[in-house]
Chains A and B, each alone.
Chain A
Amino acid sequence: MGGIERKTVLPGVNLSCVYTDKFKNGLFSAYLMRGLNSDDAPKNAMLADVLRRGCTEFPDMESIEARLDELYGASVSTVMRQIGETTAVGFSSFFADDRYLGGTEKILESAVSLTGQLLLDPATKGGMLNSDYVRSERDNLCDRIRAAVNDKRRYAVMRLKELMCADESYGVNPLGSLEKAGKMTHVSLTRHYRHILEHSPLELFYCGGAEPGRVEAAVLDAFAAMPRGETEPCDTEVRIDCGPMRTVNEKMDVSQGNLAIGFRLGEIMYNPNHAAMAVFSAVFGGSPVSKLFLNVRERMSLCYSVGSSLDRHKGIMVVSAGISPSKYDAATEEIFNQLDKCRRGEISEDELAAAKKYVASGLRESADEAALLDSYWLSRRVDGTDCTPEETAALAECVSAEQVIEVAESVKADMIYFLSGEESGQ
């Protein structure tokens, strides 16, 4: 197991299936793929929430939820994922495998059908999306945009991306700006909905124990009415170079300081070796065996949390750390010092082996969780690759120290962002 079966079931509608007997539940997802830009961001961010409020057969939340309870607590969640500068917006449904329930109900067909109805057959008033639903989800979206400050660490990373990529799509808040979100009406959202339904690639994914023919039949039945026009591409712009490093400090009433440092991955993005990038990330800061974790946190106690994450689609790496403001100089210095060590090849055999194991076992473990397989395969879809988690793990195991050094040498710091308390004297 682990292989993917891909099929174009309708024009621009791709079904990817992982068939496995090891789960007691199934997962089905449907995503419209869109490019990220500031005008569309709030529309995409609220669309699935509006559609989730009601469809023709189940016109309100109460009837949808009653239906889901009836289907043994199946869920249909609205999902928005960012893959580089591509936004995937849609639904993910998780449901019990009917073989273990002893009843006669066909849960798979019912869940796929409900997902299709929510996407294609919304509750309307006068041919438009229900204006009450649009108004209330617009208010909810505005609340979510305002609530971004509640999680300080994520807020710091979000601000870094906005500032560092101010003239790139990547710098757009995927939820949109408060100003643009607040102006949304049921008329503008209906127009957007019709447009993207017709012109976006639709990615469908299934993981579970049903036989292949059954899934495809359920999908064809549920998505037959999908309007299909010419699909619009969604690409991610990769910037290789950046200017001199910039520094931004912002203040808020917080007791802990939050540091976020943005890097460009540089020339390696011309011909990216994803396995080497993943292993470099695990050596430098993206794992508990990393230099940042073992030195900045464990050895020097400069912070409670520190880590790096790497977006291989966009070619950006972010280091984030929760620190006491008085440790700002020491922490930033040590973060760059550890990166220099990677560049100089000061990576022990044990470090490299542990990082490779970390990456490989993480990939293999993802094959045990349907939700992880969903995001794994969606991300591969954007890359246009078909390597299974097992194959990707095997590639990571073959990465050499030289390949890791090559990634480290290519990385360039672009911006340091620091969020700290009003009175702290940084």
Chain B
Amino acid sequence: MRAIHYEKLNETLWRSELDNGLSIYVLPKKGFNKKYAFFAANYGGCDMRFKADGKWVDTPAGIAHYLEHKMFDMPYGSAMNRLTGNGASPNAFTSNGITGYLFSCTDGFETNLRTLLEYVSTPYFTDESVEKERGIIGQEIRMGEDNPSRAVLTGLLKALYRTHPVREQIAGTLESIALIDAETLYTCHKKFYNPANMVLCCSGDIDPRTVEDIAAEMITAPRGERYIRDFGEAESLLPDRIKNVREMPVGIPIFMTGSKMEYVAGKDWTRRLITAQLGCDLLMGTSSPLYADMYASGLINGSFYSGIMDFPEGAAALAGGMCAQPGEVMARICAAAEALEAGQAERERFGRLKKAVMGGLLAELDSPEDLCHAHAERHFDGALPLEQMDIVEGIEPEEAVALVKELFAAERLAISEIVPPGGEA
């Protein structure tokens, strides 16, 4: 294991790659009671189509999430119960890009880590168990359908993108999950849950070498392939549709506007994401004149937010919240973006915003969960959190201004609205 020490921050990051390709990160936290482990596959909601043995394979929407639910089944019973019985709080989630399995505990870390690594590496499905899960996931999907914040985001992504799988719900639909059976789950586990496509991140008062030893002992599968994944056709940067409106029982209309961001691979991607975030903060963050004006006039309230959402091979710049006049807010944002320049006042604000981003990175260091999740996500694509401090330092106001002007140019924007039944937006 290799240690990288960050003197100023008094933090050490340990990293290692096993012979079979499994990557490991450990961030020791002296004095913490909580020990946290996060084991993730580079396989998420956006993975619906991949190339194996020269052929393209299509899988139903919601497959990665369904697999996540079924991974807890073991020949001995439920891995969830084994972990909770040993004092751990286990959980799992599927994002657009990854599927992560995790636990936190205060005692019995080594035993729990073995249990985690074992169950995630052991596919054990039967037609009956897969069938039984359909009801639970169906309820989860229906619960998501009643969630207006989710609906407004989906509406926007469906307007922006024509083919990128981020258009689909991570959990799929009742129709798509009906197509999933034990065999599909076995195939996807075999293809994507191989050591080279996975990462283990741990944090807490733990010994890095013990983590590495346990991983080497438990993860004995051979290095697998990293398959070519299809995230849709190359799309124009213009939205596919301008507007999506949906009626739902909401107390106040909700909207979200936004645009597509052009993807670049590697560390430049992280730099571009941070630059875009800084640009959004400069244009309409809480310390901007635009935010203050819109808030003071009652056009927006504290629910207004803006920022960047990233997913495999793409990202969207977003702004939204509860609002009775979304068209007016969108027009104000466009006008402010058009007028934005890197003048004296903006440069001063930009300097402060960079300080705030640095403070945010420092805040992340107090959360073992956030640290582990960020390392896992960025391991597969981008720059690690502790590397981001230097990236932030180097970003110039002109870059952020140019990028955000482009992202919030009128022709690039789509809008999604959720309105009360019979209500006019």
Which A residues lie at the B interface, using CB under 8 A?
1, 20-25, 49, 60-62, 65-66, 68-74, 94-97, 100-102, 132, 136, 139-140, 143, 145-153, 252-256, 287-289, 294, 297-298, 301, 303-305, 322-324, 350, 353-354, 357-358, 360-362, 364-365, 367-370
Contact = CB atoms under 8 A, between A and B. Distances in A.
B352 A70 contact: yes
B366 A72 contact: no
Interface string B127-150: 000001101110110110111110
Nearest to B90: A288
Contacts of A370: 366
A376 B225 CA distance: 48
A140 B353 contact: no
B135 A301 contact: yes
B8 interface: yes
Interface string B83-95: 0111111100000
A68 B287 contact: yes
Given A73-B356, A96-B363, A100-B9, A21 B295 contact: no
Interface of B: 8-10, 29-34, 78, 80-81, 84-90, 104-107, 132-133, 135-137, 139-140, 142-143, 145-149, 248-252, 254, 285-289, 291-292, 295-296, 298, 301-302, 322, 349, 352-353, 355-360, 362-363, 365-368, 421
Given A143-B322, A369-B367, A152 B146 contact: yes
Contact of A49 (B105, B135, B302, B349): B302
B363 A94 contact: yes
Nearest to B31: A22
Contacts of B421: 253
A39 B223 CA distance: 66
A288 B80 contact: yes
A179 to B, nearest CB: 15
Given A73-B356, A289-B81, A368-B33, A147 B286 contact: no
Nearest 3 interchain pairs by C-beta: A73-B356, A73-B359, A146-B251
Contacts, number: 187
Contacts of A361: 87-89, 104-107
B302 A150 contact: no
B61 to A, nearest CB: 18
Contacts of B356: 68-69, 72-73
Contacts of A71: 355, 359
Contact of A66 (B34, B136, B137, B349): B349
B236 to A, nearest CB: 34
Contacts of B368: 368
A287 B80 CA distance: 12
5 contacts: A69-B353, A100-B8, A101-B362, A146-B252, A149-B251
B136 A304 contact: yes
B421 to A, nearest CB: 7
Contacts of A254: 146, 249
A132 B106 CA distance: 50
A101 B421 CA distance: 51
A304 B140 contact: yes
A61 B30 contact: no
A304 B251 contact: no
A61 B286 contact: yes
A297 B138 CA distance: 13
B143 A304 contact: yes
Given A70-B355, A252-B249, A288-B80, 13 more contacts: A1-B31, A20-B31, A22-B31, A72-B355, A73-B360, A139-B298, A145-B251, A153-B143, A288-B90, A297-B136, A322-B139, A361-B87, A365-B104
